[in-house]
Amino acid sequence: MATNIEGSSADEIQAKANDGAGGEAKAPAGDGASTDKYGGLSPDELVQLFRDMYTSRKLDDAEINLKRQQKIYFQISGAGHEAALVGAAKAMKAGYDWFYPYYRDRALCVALGMTPLEVLAEAVGSSEDPNSGGRQMPAHWGHKDLNIVSQSSCTGTQELQAAGAAEVGRIMSQVDELKDKTDLYKDDEVVYVSIGDGASSEGEFWEAIGTASTYKLPVIFMVEDNGYAISVPSTEQVHGGSISKACAGFENLYITEYDGCDPIESYVEAKKAVEYARSGKGPALLHAHVIRPYSHSMSDDEKMYKPDAEREAEAAKDPIKTFPEFLVAEGILTEEGVEEVKAEVEQAVRDAVDEALELPTPHPDTVLDYVWSPDVDPTSDEFDVEPQWDEEGGEKTMVDLLNNTMRTEMRRDPRIVIFGEDVADVTKQELEGEVKGKGGVFKVTHGLQSEFGYRRVFNSPLAEANIIGRAIGMATRGLKPVVEIQFFDYIWPAYMQLKNELSNMRWRSNNAFSAPVVVRVPIGGYLKGGAPYHSQSGAVLFTHIPGLRVVMPSTAADAAGLLRTAIRCEDPVMFLEPKHLYRQTYNKSFNPGEDYTIPFGKAKTVREGNDLTIITYGSTVERSRRAVKKTGIDAEIIDLRSLQPYDWDAIANSVKKTNKALVVYEDGKSWGYGTEIATRIGDELFEYLDGPVKRVAAMDSFVAYHPDLEDRILPQIDDIAEAVEWLDKY
C-alpha cells in the first residue's frame, strides 16, 4: 500500500511519514484518492502497459543473448523495474516533459516511444543509434525528439542537471524577452530524473533534492529501490534503508512510497506526484520498491551474495509474471490473449534484432566529430575583431572590463544567466536599496543583479557541483549560463560534473545535446597571504579534457575579448581569471568596445625579440617582461592567452627564429602545463634548437601563507632572469 506525504513543515512531514508507514494510503491534501478500479486506466491502456513491460524484458533477453554470442559488447538490464517505469511514463508526456533516466530505465524509454530497433541500435553500437551514435554503452539513454537527455555512466550526476533543467521554464517565463519562447519551455512541464537506491547515497542527489525543494522546482525524483547497489544492500546506504523517510524533512517535497511491481499503483502514485509538481507546489519523490531478478550486469553474478530464498521471493513478485495473471483474473485478457501479446512482442523484438545487426557502424574517421561545436568555431577569423577603444571613461582594471563584458552581453542576449556563490547583489529582493550589495567576493559581478533582476543573476548554495550540474541542465535546454566558482581551490567537488558531464555532452550524444556553459574561476597565487587554499594553480587538470575550452587572460583588454568569445561560442569554456591581476595598474586598458572578441588559440606577442623565446601566460607574463628588461637580452615573449587550444604556430615560428625556448608558468614544474609545451618543442622543433628547452615554474609544493615562503615557492622575476641569462649564454 502506498504512503503519500505532501511537503509542509518538517515536523508535519515526519509525522505523516511515521503515520503512513505500512498503513493506509494517504493522499495529498485536496487531491483525493482515485476511486476507479484501475486508477482511471482503460482495459486497452492496461494491455498497453503490459505490452511495454514485456517489450522491455524481451529486449533485455535479446541483448543478453547477443552478448553471449559476442555480437554486442556489454549488457545491463532493467528487469524487475518495468512496472514502476511504465506507470511513471504513463503519468507524463514524451516530447513535452523532460527526462533524465538512468541505466535501468529501459521500460520508461520504451513506454515514452523509443522503438525496439532504436534500443538495439545502441547495443550494437550503430551510427544510426539515436541515443549516442555508437559512442556509449547500451542502456545509456538519450533521444532528442522524446526529450530524453543524454545519460552518462556516472551515478547520481543527472540529479543536479534535472534541477537545472526544471529552472528553465521558471526563468524564461519571468524574463520579458523570453516569455514567448514556448518552443523551449512549457508553463506546466515537469522534469523526471531517476536513480537506483544506491545512488541516493551520492551527495549530488541530496544537493538536487535540497535545491528543488527550496525553490519549489517541478522535479519528479524517482528512486527505484531494488534493495541492492550491485552487492551492497540498501540498509548499508547512508539513508539507513529508507530514502523516503530520510527525505521527510524537506519543505515542499511530496513523497510517496509504494509497490513498484504493481504498474497500476505505480501509475496512480506517479500521477498524483506529477499533478503536485505541475501545479507549482514543488518537487516529488517517488520511492518505488522493485526487484532485480537478473544480476547487476553480465559482469556480475548475484548468486554470490543473494541467498536462494531471497531470489525465489523476488521471482514470485516479478511483474512480468504477476501482471498478466492479474489481467486474466480481471477478464481483461484471456490466457490466449496474453500469449498473443507475448508472441507479437517477441516477433517484433526478433525483427528488431535482425535489423539492428544489419545497421551501419560508425566510421573510424568520425571519432573527433562533435568534440567541439560544428556550427560556431571560436578559433576562426570571425572572432578576430579589432577593438573600438573608448577613452572617455579612462583606463579600466580587469575587474571593470569583465563586469562590463557580462553587462553588455546580457543586454545583447536575454538567455544569459549568472549565478554562483555570493555573485548577486542581494539574495532577498526586499533588501534591495537597503544594502550596498555584494556582487561577488571580488566584485566582478557587482551591479548586474540590479540591472537584470533576480531571475538572471542569483546566488547558489555553497556547493560547487550544484553550480555546474544545474548550469548543464539549463544550457542543455537553451539558456546560456555564465557561472562562477568562487575560488579555483574549491572547484574539486565540481570536477565530476566538469569532466564527465559538461565536457562531453555534445560528443556522447552525437550532437543531439550540448551544454555551452562558461565557468569563471579566480585562480592562482602572488597574493601575499593566500596560503595553500587560496593560491592554487592547476590549469593542466582541465586542458587535458577533450571538449573543454580553457583560457587565461593576462590583461584587462584580453579578459574582455576572451570572455566575449567564451559567451558567444557554443562550447563549454573554463575561463580562468588570475586574481592577482584583477586590479593591477600595469594591465589596465581602455574599453575595447561591445563587439571586441579574440579568437581562442591565438597567442599575443608581448615583446618582439631574436635571442630566445619565452612562452608564458597569466600572472607570469608581466614577470617575464620585467625579467627580460632586467637582463637586457633581446628575448621574444609570447602570451598564450588560450590554453586549450593553444597557438602552436606562434610558438613554432618564434622558436624557429630565435632557436631557443623557455617556458614560464605558475603551476608546479613537474607534470605541469608547461611540460607539454616543452616536450612538443623538443619533439617537433629539435632541429631548430641551439640549446635545451628550459622551464621556470613553481616548486612542487603547496603555496605557503608567509610572503617569504610564497616568494620561494612561486616563480619570481629573478628566477626568470637567471634562466634567460643561462639560456642566452648556452
What is the structure's pLDDT at 718?
98
Q: Which structural domain, as residue segments, surrounds residue 715?
A: 604-729
Q: What is the pLDDT of residues 15-33, one digit of tens each?
A: 443 343 333 333 333 343 4
Among residues 652, 642, 669, the alpha carbon closest in space to that of 613 is found at 652
Which regions in the chain score pLDDT beneath 70?
1, 4-35, 430-433
One domain, residues 427 and 292: no
What is the structure's pLDDT at 5?
59
Contact assessment for residue 65 and residue 94, using Cβ atoms and an 8 Å cutoff: no
Any idea which residue has 582594471 for its cell? 397
Among residues 559, 517, 548, 282, the alpha carbon closest in space to that of 417 is found at 517
One domain, residues 391 and 317: no
One domain, residues 111 and 231: yes
H or E, element range at 91 = none
One domain, residues 522 and 453: yes
- Structure-block grid coordinates of residue 53: 513491460
- Structure-block grid coordinates of residue 93: 508526456
Among residues 62, 67, 55, the alpha carbon closest in space to that of 106 is found at 55
What is the structure's pLDDT at 31?
41
φ/ψ region of 222 (left if φ > 0, alpha if ψ in -120 to 50, else beta) reads beta
3-class secondary-structure state, position 644: strand
DSSP conformational letter for 695: E
In a domain, 205, yes or no: yes
Q: What are phi and psi of 696, to 5 degrees?
A: -125, 125
Q: What is the CA radius of gyration of the chain?
A: 29
Query: What is the pTM assigned to this prediction?
Result: 0.94
One domain, residues 50 and 170: yes
In a domain, 344, yes or no: yes
Write the CA distances from 414 to 95, 406, 453, 455, 480, integer angstroms.
Answer: 25, 12, 12, 11, 9
Spatial separation of the C-alpha atoms in residues 49 and 88, rounded to whole Å: 11
In a domain, 364, yes or no: no
Write the CA distances from 351 to 49, 115, 355, 519, integer angstroms.
Answer: 21, 12, 6, 47
What is the structure's pLDDT at 517?
98
Residues ≥6 apart with Cβ < 8 Å to 337: none
In a domain, 594, yes or no: no
Spatial separation of the C-alpha atoms in residues 135 and 126, rounded to whole Å: 9
- Structure-block grid coordinates of residue 380: 576562426
What is the structure's pLDDT at 293?
87
Q: How many helices (H) and strands (E) does the chain have?
A: 24, 20
Spatial separation of the C-alpha atoms in residues 480 and 178, rounded to whole Å: 13
Q: Which amino acid is at 248?
A: A
What is the structure's pLDDT at 432?
67
One domain, residues 212 and 321: yes
**Which of 581, 616, 640 is where one domain is finished?**
581
Beta strands 549-551; 573-578: pairing state: parallel
Task: Work out the number of other CB atoms within 10 angstroms of the CB of residue 143.
Answer: 22
One domain, residues 135 and 249: yes
Strand order in the sheet with 635-639: 604-607, 635-639, 612-616, 661-668, 694-698
User: What CATH code is carried by the domain that includes residue 138?
Assistant: 3.40.50.970
- Structure-block grid coordinates of residue 209: 533534492
Instruction: Give the up-direction half-sphere exposure of residue 256: CA atoms within 13 A in the CB hemisphere.
Output: 31
User: What CATH code is carried by the domain that includes residue 705?
Assistant: 3.40.50.920
In a domain, 267, yes or no: yes
- Cα of first residue to Cα of last residue in the chain, in angstroms, is 83
Instruction: Give me the number of domains the chain comprises.
Output: 3
In a domain, 598, yes or no: no
One domain, residues 313 and 420: no
Give the active site residue among 239, 296, 446, 534. Answer: 534
What is the structure's pLDDT at 8?
40
Spatial separation of the C-alpha atoms in residues 667 and 673, rounded to whole Å: 7
Q: What is the pLDDT of residues 575-609, one digit of tens each?
A: 999 999 999 999 999 999 999 999 999 999 999 99
One domain, residues 312 and 413: no
In a domain, 367, yes or no: no
What is the structure's pLDDT at 25?
32
Q: Catalytic: 289? A: no
What is the structure's pLDDT at 13?
36
